Structure 1
Amino acid sequence: MARPNPDLINALRRTAKKLKEGAPYQWGHMGGCNCGNLAQELTKLSKDQIHTYAMQRYGDWNEQVDDYCQTSSLPIDIIINEMLNAGLMLEDLKHLEKLSDKQVLARFPVEKRLALKHNVRDDVVAYMYEWANLLEERLLEKIQLPVLEELSFA
């Protein structure tokens, strides 16, 4: 699971909001799919740039992740590297593309969980918001506030 951090949480929420408000979405397009839309937010590249870079190697996001090389100079590997630097793990990208992370899915009511479709905009939006909420909760669990000693008013 991704490393919870404010920038990643906000990127997920911004991506979900943009999709909800009508940003281009096309599941079969490497720059306009689930991962592609998040990649746009994290890298500031356009959907067409991401798609063009991804097409320099074969496959969908799952295959691109399987073939990812940290030291490669292929643009898609540079994009994936930026996403990893934002706190994501390789498995997160696979799960996002298929809306399949069990920890995120467990937060939905069973009937919604079973009905989620990986290539339906509204389902992607719901998944991203719920994932952001999960990461935020995990981040807040790590925050320790100092205990203040009881003040005396003598």
Structure 2
Amino acid sequence: MAHANLKLIDALRITAQKLAEGGNYQWGHMGSCNCGNLAQELTKLTKAEIHQFAMEGRGDWREQVEQFCPSSGLNIDLLIVDLLNHGLNVTDLQDLEWLSDKKILQRIPLEKRNKMRHNVREDVVLYMNTWADMLEEQLIPHIKLNLDFLAKEVLVEYEQV
């Protein structure tokens, strides 16, 4: 599972929102599919650039990831390295393309889960938002807030009374 971090959570939510609002989605296009849309948000590459990089490689995202070699020099492999540096792992990319991560799917009500399809925009939006929720829940216990400044403000107010 991905390493929970704010940038990845934000990218998942923004990508889901863009798709929900009618953003470009075409599952058969490497730059406009499930992974392609998230890659656009994380890397700021265009859908055309991502698609062009993928065409230098082999197959869909699942196949690209299966044959991933960080030292190949292929642009698609460099793109995958960039995505990994944002906290994803190769399995996350494969699962996102096919909406197949069991931990994410378990959080989706059974009646909806059983009808989900990997190439349906609304299902991708639900999957990404559910994933972002899950990552957020993992991250929250590790966030430490320094609220010392509140105690100082209360003390100053008390002294002024």
Counterpart secondary structure, 2:133: helix
Distance of 2:69 and 2:127 partners within structure 1: 28
Cα RMSD between the aligned structures?
1.6
Q: Which residue of 1 aligns with 2:37?
A: 37
What does residue 9 of structure 2 align with? 9
Segments of 5+ residues of structure 1 without an aligned counterpart are none
Q: 2:55 aligns to what? A: 55
- After TM superposition, the runs of 4+ consecutive aligned structure 1 residues lying more than 4 A away are none
Which letter does structure 1 place at the counterpart of 2:67? Answer: D
> Which residue of the partner structure matches residue 154 of structure 2?
none
Query: 1: CA distance between counterparts of 2:40 and 2:49?
Result: 9
- Supply the distance in 2 between the matched residues of 1:78 and 1:145 (Cα, whole angstroms): 36
Cα distance change, pair 145–46 in 1 and its aligned pair in 2 (3 A): closer
Map of 1:133 onto structure 2? 133
What is the CA–CA distance in structure 2 between the aligned matches of 1:127 and 1:79, rounded to whole Å?
A: 22
1:121 aligns with 2:121: yes
Look up the SS of the partner of 2:13 in the other structure.
helix
Quick one: distance in 2 between partners of 1:21 and 1:144?
34
Q: C-alpha distance in 1, partners of 2:17/2:10?
A: 10
Q: Secondary structure at the match of 2:56?
A: coil
Report the Cα offset of residue 57 of structure 1.
Answer: 1.4
Alpha-carbon displacement from aligned partner over 1:116-146 (angstroms, at most 9, x marks no partner): 1100000000100000000000001233568
TM-score normalised over the length of structure 2: 0.88
Q: Give per-residue Cα distances to partners, 1:32-82, cap 9 Å, x unaligned.
A: 000000010111111111001100112000000011111221110111111
Separation in 1, partners of 2:25, 2:100: 19
- The match for 1:83 is 83
Measured in 2, the distance between the counterparts of 1:68 and 1:31 equals: 17
Highest CA radius of gyration, 1 or 2? 2
Aligned mates of 2:57, 2:88 — CA distance in 1: 21
Q: Percent identity?
A: 58
Q: 1:110: which partner in 2?
A: 110
Ranges in structure 2 where 5+ consecutive residues have no aligned partner:
152-161
- Alignment-derived partner of residue 95 in structure 1: 95
Offset from partner CA, 1:73-113 (integer Å, 9 cap, x none) = 11101111110000001000000000010110010111111
